[in-house]
Amino acid sequence: MRDDELLTVAEVMARLKVGRSTVYDLIRTRRLPSVSIGRCRRIPASALGDFIAGQMERAA
């Protein structure tokens, strides 16, 4: 996964193994940063990596 890669909501769903509403909830609550391109929502791969790392730190 490249740091400058932009992921779709579906790709994030697959990587986190969660549903669409969960991903949009993470975006809405600003726990997962995203950008809007037209009507599309994209999540930077680096933001997803940071989110996962933060979750791992909390769990430890």
Residue 57 is predicted with a pLDDT of 93
Query: pLDDT by residue (tens digit) across 1-35?
Result: 666 899 999 999 999 999 999 999 999 999 999 99
Q: Position 29: which residue type?
A: T
Contact 43, 12 (CB under 8 A): yes
The 3-state secondary structure of the chain reads: CCCCCEEEHHHHHHHHCCCHHHHHHHHHCCCCCCEEECCEEEEEHHHHHHHHHHHHHHHC
**41 pLDDT band (50/70/90 cuts)?**
very high
Average confidence (pLDDT) over 37-49: 96
Residue 3 is predicted with a pLDDT of 63
Residue 34 is predicted with a pLDDT of 97
